[in-house]
Structure 1
């Protein structure tokens, strides 16, 4: 029985998606719930799995093509067995020099096949690094970029780059040892760029700074680290939990920092949904801790760790990254000493954490070496006055320097 493979139903905030990678080719066997294709949207990567045991019969939408919600992208034959030679085989039928047996065994992705045809390359000379020896578009790009590639492959590649620079596919311009590569921006990266540009142009963004003595939190963490991990089933006690809890308390005291602007209206949120910026290979994403005020330190740390792992593996869902009333970003994990974080609209403020650096500080007339961290609060001056922003950041500082205040809410 043949079953239609359709794109998932996209949320209202997602207009369409792009076929990122076909993990199976026509004629290849699939097990039930095995990953078949990745569809990239401007927010997350969605996975489509096999509906049953069988064979991928046909690819309707190739890699790089745009698809709409519930649109047909392929066909699947349940209960069928894999063919001896997958449909995505020899692209070198016009090349009599290639060995027929080797060409029949080749597995080539649709995007790679298109590049091979456009550039007149020999598929047999390209090494496939994909699953089961699949030749991907990255393999073709790498083959074209090799300075010492055979004249038969390099000459067409150069001709293609010079004659068709307007093509949307990957391009490589090779001049001696100087290599350039043109890569289309991913939908996620394009969306990030769009939002950042919008934030800088449509908000009156200012940043205020302060510094916090991390010694009390570090001592508390050192004292209870092992007991905390043992009590909470392996969850490690980090610094982010303290900042999330401190932010929740500060947001209660300064509602404007937890608000958002909707046209000519101000929306005050009676809850604290804290977004935590997570860096991935595809770009920055901001999963949200819902009702963070009701979460304990262990819950916060556990959820943040889970977000990090799922973001790395591309497993975050649309619901994980939508909403949020306030954002925390930690550039310190990459060594940043000071920065000005950019707003995450429609939110009106974002807190930037940084690297902990030992510095000489004056304490009661004496010089002490203390582990200090710079804090930065970027805010929308259309809604938040400088006085409120400074007092909010000082509240964060006071709560972190005396963690008991977080528990006592004072």
Structure 2
């Protein structure tokens, strides 16, 4: 278990470029299974979760050619379906939640898809019902081996249908889309997730020959086609990383430029940080955050305490609530953080309280933060990263705290952030990676 040692209390400066979006990468990389032709994907982030998925595809028989550090060529013209029922796959697939998204493409093209119960962050229940209910609606037969915790869907062919999703699940929507593009007839998906990453997947599939309309809305219409061809696709910058850097600049009183952010795909993210009093400027497609000695939380118009909560797109992404919470600890004023989707994502606040933050955990979903206005800095401490987003939040807290902090289990951070210690050192952070013995 590797460790970060951080000497906090230093201002940062310069520019940082966000990596490719992890959540988009997991979707579009799975879609290469839908065609035997070559697919080229660029701006692929070099992170643990994405690399695990690429490894699984390689074991499945997909030919993989890394053209440069962030560009891959995939060709799924000789798939080994026997791998899906092997003990090796049960081990490989269970370590990555994103592996669930290979099921839709496999079912669509080969008539069967299997997956062990996938892993991922321990942030609460993350059910898979939306995925499998969608496949069943398309005509697949579902089975679940409770002893081995192994899911399977099979169909001689899929038939288009109308469906109303019980929840606007991003991965569920992606999986159903990938299954429906090769189904017979027309599929409509209502209450579909419409995040930019879903839009990107749809645009990529359309460039491969799919017929998807309603892209960007919560009502998708998919006219099934017989086969798909190859394409080239570029992944968007990671909006979660962009939000992380905004928060880091505010907490460390630093002036930072975030390059090439694809501003039009950020939705409410800049506005929510501005509600915390953080100044940021749009400069072309960059975000410039000037140095601020303090920032004041805006109340609602009627004077009541600001509440920041997560919601399906175009609402505020739940992946940034942990960062918002940390940033609020040094704001002037108070804010209620309401994490609606996951009941364990706020449990890292005890570590912030140990550092001197004034946070009241109301229940598993809500926390009230009483900002200290930088009048009292956080204290350095030793902590362990419980998941990706809590991990980066604790890292931001450590960068702002005076003294030397230690963060264990940084593999959790590496799952979602590419070479983060090297990139932070380039803008002045005092951070060292200590390898496990």
TM-score range, shorter chain: under 0.3
Query: So what's the TM-score if we normalise by structure 2?
Result: 0.24
Point out which structure has higher relative CO (alpha carbons under 8 A, 6+ apart).
2
Query: So what's the TM-score if we normalise by structure 1?
Result: 0.25
Is the radius of gyration larger for structure 1 or structure 2?
1
